[in-house]
Chain A
């Protein structure tokens, strides 16, 4: 594979942090599933916001407030267009995927009865398990789990068996953060709808890699985070079908989300403000839309192709290492590889390669049920972005070999 298939030099120059030296070594950043790096246009937009636009939105009648409001609402429209949502009322800004999931799970408190069932998958991040467990505790609903197989894929026939008229909500990730498996969410959604259940898809690990069309998916809720799509931290996206967002109550009370307030009673604002109590992360939201423009300018199809090539190369190279075990080898996965080498603890390898400037994630990746399935405490996870290179993967492999020699 040649880096020239993609103007990689120019792309890498867009990201100031990629030139950083850590521990005296050139940074090799392979932890993109945790946070993607930020291109200069996004950093500039944050500086520009605080230099030229900073004001509170939706309330002041003055010039700056109106300009800031326009920029904030333009950002909402960009996300609407990007996800192909019908209305910008269906796009809610939150503080992150976790916040988005909690908002929806909380919304079902009054919609569930004791004995109702909700379905989760074995491949979830803790943030798509815990809020729903809390919901079960409050409502008496029962959580069922779609099992996985050795390849790290969900077993669809088992999912079909779990569905019944008692099923009220199904929540599954689009892509597993720990293994990279892409789940067949369109089929999952349509099956759930046959039983009248709502579906929430955690798209945190999908949004950076491919195009999402919420109408085509017919999904009820789709959530993600800006810091995983080259935007700033502290911004989350919640898409919800208007009928669902009207049905569930506000999550937090405060300014902005009200229509009228007296000490006796408050009436809530209409969508989307009903779910955006208080002053939002205005600069972050505006910068997130700049990040969206950035990836769309490159093109998600190009990004997908480039990342698939990196995945193939890295998989091939890693498999040449003695005693390596890769977890999750679905033929349908994103550029994430989770692995262990022999009986070496992932932290040991992670610590040594960190001193070589290589940034990877080690541990259970907030997905302990998956680790339990494989009977391991954790893995080393590399997650690649379009800005990574063949040379960086070679550096990773060399560092792993050094670590392996030291630890054997």
Chain B
């Protein structure tokens, strides 16, 4: 699937929820299923700055596709990054660079996040794009 198709899939999944509690429960479940980063990559330099809880993000280039793994000490944060990984992982660097990111607003995530958490979300997306830029120039 393309990034856009995956994002549309996520949007329609979130459309099914009636209230924020259901959304949060879903995000928490996603957090538990996050593809967890290998311990050797859980380093200081892989911590995303701008997040209030700790978030580690790592990307590997396998057969010209970027594979993201991550972890966080907060479960809701883990769920949020799981959504982002689902949208952007296993795609080429060029596709990630060119991908739109407005699906996070469409799923109503930002309105339920405090400003600091919303900033953290933006930092995560930025970091995913930065990895893509780094690999595309290699």
Interface residues of A (CB under 8 A from B): 23, 344-345, 347-348, 350-352, 354-355, 363, 377, 406-407
Partner of A351, one of B25, B54, B73, B117: B117
Chain B residue nearest to A344 in the complex (CB): B75
Tell whether B135 is near chain A: CB-to-CB under 8 Å. no
Residues of B within 8 A of A344 (CB): 75
A354 to B25, CA, bound (A): 15
Asked if B10 is an interface residue, CB under 8 A from chain A, the answer is no
Verify A348–B25 contact, CB threshold 8 A.
no
Q: Smallest distance from the beta carbon of B78 to chain A beta carbons, Å?
A: 9
Residue in contact with B24 in the complex, picked from A347, A363, A406, CB distance below 8 Å:
A406
Q: Which residues of chain A are within 8 angstroms of B21 by Cβ–Cβ distance?
A: 355, 406
B residues near A352, Cβ cutoff 8 Å: 24, 76
Contact B28 A351 (CB under 8 A): no
Contacts of A407 in B (CB 8 A): 28, 75
Q: Is the CB of B76 within 8 A of A351?
A: yes
Complex: A327 Cα to B74 Cα, angstroms: 20
Residues A406 and B73 in contact in the complex (CB < 8 Å), given A345-B53, A347-B52, A351-B117: no
- Measured between beta carbons, the chain A residues less than 8 angstroms from B5 are none
Residues of A within 8 A of B54 (CB): 377
**Contacting residues, chain A, for B112 (C-beta < 8 A):** 351, 355
Q: For residue B53, which residue of chain A has the nearest CB? A: A347
Q: Are the C-beta atoms of A345 and B73 separated by less than 8 Å?
A: yes
B: residues with CB less than 8 A from A are: 20-21, 24-25, 28, 52-54, 73-77, 112-114, 117
Given that A347-B52, A347-B53 are known contacts, is A355 also in contact with B20, CB under 8 Å in the complex?
yes
Q: B76 to chain A: which residues have CB within 8 Å? A: 347-348, 351-352
Chain B residues, Cβ within 8 Å of A354 = 114
How long is the Cα–Cα vector from A23 to B117 in the complex, in angstroms? 17
For residue A84, give the distance in angstroms from its CB to the closest CB of chain B. Answer: 40
The reply to whether A363 and B20 form a contact with Cβ atoms under 8 Å apart is no
Q: Chain B residues near A377 (CB, 8 Å)?
A: 53-54, 73
Residues of A within 8 A of B73 (CB): 345, 377
**Quick one: which of A23, A348, A355, A406 contacts B74, CB cutoff 8 A?**
A348
A377's nearest neighbour on chain B, judged by CB, is B73
Partner of A348, one of B20, B75, B113, B114: B75
A-B contact pairs, 21 of them (CB 8 A): A344-B75, A345-B73, A345-B75, A345-B77, A347-B74, A347-B76, A348-B76, A351-B24, A351-B76, A351-B112, A351-B114, A351-B117, A352-B24, A355-B20, A355-B21, A377-B53, A377-B54, A377-B73, A406-B21, A406-B24, A406-B25
Can you name the residue of chain B whose Cβ is closest to the Cβ of A343? B73
Task: State in angstroms the CA–CA spacing of A351 and B72 once bound together.
Answer: 15
Given A348-B74, A377-B73; A406-B20 close (CB under 8 Å): no
Taken together as a complex, chains A and B put the C-alpha atoms of A350 and B28 apart, in Å, by 14
Residue of A nearest to B120 (CB): A347
Q: Point out the residues of chain A lying under 8 angstroms from B20, CB to CB.
A: 23, 355
List 16 extra interface pairs beyond A377-B53, A377-B54, CB under 8 A: A344-B75, A345-B77, A347-B53, A347-B74, A347-B77, A350-B114, A351-B24, A352-B24, A352-B76, A354-B114, A355-B21, A355-B24, A355-B112, A406-B21, A406-B25, A407-B28
Distance to closest chain A CB from B44 (angstroms): 15
Which one of B21, B53, B73 has the greatest number of beta carbons of chain A within 10 Å? B53
Contacts of A355 in B (CB 8 A): 20-21, 24, 112
Hey, which chain A residues are within 8 Å of B53, CB to CB?
Answer: 345, 347, 377
Taking the closest CB of chain A, its distance from the CB of B27, in whole angstroms, is 10
Shortest CB distance A206–B (Å) = 27
Residues of B within 8 A of A23 (CB): 20
Q: Which residues of B contact A348 (CB under 8 A)?
A: 74-76
Tell me the bound Cα distance from A377 to B52 in angstroms: 10
Residues of B within 8 A of A350 (CB): 114
A347 to B53 alpha-carbon distance, docked (Å): 7
Which residues does chain B contribute within 8 Å of A351, judged by CB atoms?
24, 76, 112-114, 117
Chain A residue numbers with a CB within 8 Å of B77 are: 345, 347
Q: Which residues of A contact B113 (CB under 8 A)?
A: 351
> Are B28 and A406 within 8 A (Cβ)?
yes
Whether A345 lies near B114 (C-beta < 8 A) is: no
B119 to chain A, nearest CB (A): 13
| Contacting residues, chain B, for A363 (C-beta < 8 A) | 52
Minimal beta-carbon separation of A55 from chain B (angstroms): 36
> In the complex, what residue of chain B is closest to A23 when comparing beta carbons?
B20
Residue of A nearest to B23 (CB): A355
Cα-based distance from A350 to B74 in the complex (angstroms):
11
Q: How far is the CA of A179 from the CA of B40 in the complex (A)?
A: 36
Q: Hey, which chain B residues are within 8 Å of A347, CB to CB?
A: 52-53, 74, 76-77, 117
With CB as the reference atom, state the residue of chain B lying closest to A350.
Answer: B114
* Complex CA distance for A344 and B21, rounded to whole angstroms: 18
Q: Which residue of A lies closest to B75 (CB)?
A: A348
Bound together, the chains give a CA A347 to CA B112 distance in angstroms of 13
Cα–Cα distance between A355 and B23 once the two chains are bound (Å): 12
B113 to chain A, nearest CB (A): 7
